[in-house]
Structure 1
Amino acid sequence: MSVNLYRFGKTVVTIILKPLFRIQTIGTESFPKDGGVLICANHIDNLDPPVVGLTSPRVIHFMAKEELFHVPILKQILPTINVFPVKRGMSDKGALKKGLKLLKEGEVLGLFPEGTRSKTGELGKGLAGAGFFALRTNAAVVPCAIIGPYKPFQKLRVVYGKPIDFSQYREQKISPEEATEVIMDEIRKLISAHK
């Protein structure tokens, strides 16, 4: 990981996006200071990953659709800013292993459980991947709500919820799909509370 390039990118993105969208960050005081963290956010715009990146108190590793790694400039840049590819529409064992490894090593993994942007802005159904990571590691699971719109000089809120206690769900051996639904419910509550 090129920490310096990540920090440089975060600084540039902050200088441009923070004033443009009047980004307000809420809830970072309860964000775990160390240990593995799984951030799960709703997905309303292509700018969501840099916005979550600039508001997170810690460095994030993001999964991104594999197609982005075929774009000439992006395929060089993305790996240097902690982004790794995932194949959509199928079980990508390599990406799952990479995500598990990062969480077990105490890193922060950022996911958009819906898997794609919401065309309506409403929260969609989450995919099982988020639940898989939540159940298979002891990482703190932090729900995150991005509340738009992405319009210049209109306030954009990024709300981090308190970590979800997954210990009971791990003991109950619920399915990854059910675990994802628990996470999506928490994101839904954050959106409702901060609209």
Structure 2
Amino acid sequence: MSFYTFARSVVRGILKPVYRYEVIGTENIPSEGGVLLCSNHIDNLDPPTVGITCPRPISFMAKAELFDAPVLKTILPKLETFPVKRGVGDREALRKGLGILKEGKVLGLFPEGTRSKDGKLKKGLAGVGFFALRSTADVVPCAIIGPYKAFSKVKVVYGKPLDMSEFRERRASADEVTEAIMSEIAKLIEKYQ
């Protein structure tokens, strides 16, 4: 058993009794090949929530500051999570993310870059569009619908993969692609709220 599988079962055992997860659309996640999984970000519990509800292991990109914490800097790399320096063009993080997609794995991103304080969907960052354009990965939108309150329902909705071919063919901008992805996340939130 890998550390990821072990940690996932432990986290599931802790979170599932507290939050009544309703998971919709896991069949929309391709069973193989690179997947760029893009979710809204409403709480610190979002990464473990997506991690325990997605049928495939996920490599998350996380803010570099988390890797300064003594316990986290040991655990996060074992969970296939890697750092990104926010506010600068972190080429190493971009290379690492593209490598994960090329290896046929799942890369999990929160396009807003940080938690939404009021729970409303914010503008996405261009890095998400970069990954969608520079890879052949399937792009799957995900909506987390809270709030996280003990013994209340948290919905996790996985949408159908988005067709990126038209954007890739006409070499659309990363910003335009990010907007399209955020629009799909917004539709999921509106539909399942």
Aligned to 2:133: 135
Determine the C-alpha separation between the residues in 2 that align with 1:159 and 1:185. 14
Equivalent of residue 31 in structure 1, options 21, 29, 32: 29
Aligned to 2:40: 42
Determine the C-alpha separation between the residues in 2 that align with 1:30 and 1:88. 30
Aligned to 1:88: 86
Determine the C-alpha separation between the residues in 2 that align with 1:21 and 1:151. 7
User: Could you report, residue by residue, the CA deviation over 1:52-96 in whole angstroms, capped at 9, with x for unpaired residues?
Assistant: 000001000000000000111111111011110000001000000
Tell me by how many angstroms 1:29 deviates: 1.1
Aligned to 1:117: 115
Equivalent of residue 159 in structure 1, options 149, 157, 160: 157
Determine the C-alpha separation between the residues in 1 that align with 2:115 and 2:107. 18
Identity %: 64
RMSD: 0.7
- Tell me which amino acid in the other structure corresponds to 2:145: I
Tell me by how many angstroms 1:19 deviates: 2.0
Determine the C-alpha separation between the residues in 1 that align with 2:155 and 2:98. 29
For the residue of structure 1 that corresponds to 2:2, the secondary structure is helix
Q: Which piece of structure 1 moves more, 13-22 or 58-67? A: 13-22
For the residue of structure 1 that corresponds to 2:41, the secondary structure is coil
TM-score, normalised on structure 1? 0.98
Determine the C-alpha separation between the residues in 2 that align with 1:82 and 1:50. 13
Determine the C-alpha separation between the residues in 1 that align with 2:168 and 2:83. 27
Equivalent of residue 78 in structure 1, options 76, 79, 97: 76
Number of matched pairs: 193
For the residue of structure 1 that corresponds to 2:128, the secondary structure is helix
The runs of at least 4 aligned residues of structure 1 exceeding 3 Å deviation read none
Q: Any unmatched runs of 5+ in structure 1?
A: none
User: Could you report, residue by residue, the CA deviation over 1:14-52 in whole angstroms, capped at 9, with x for unpaired residues?
Assistant: 111112110111001121000000000000000000000
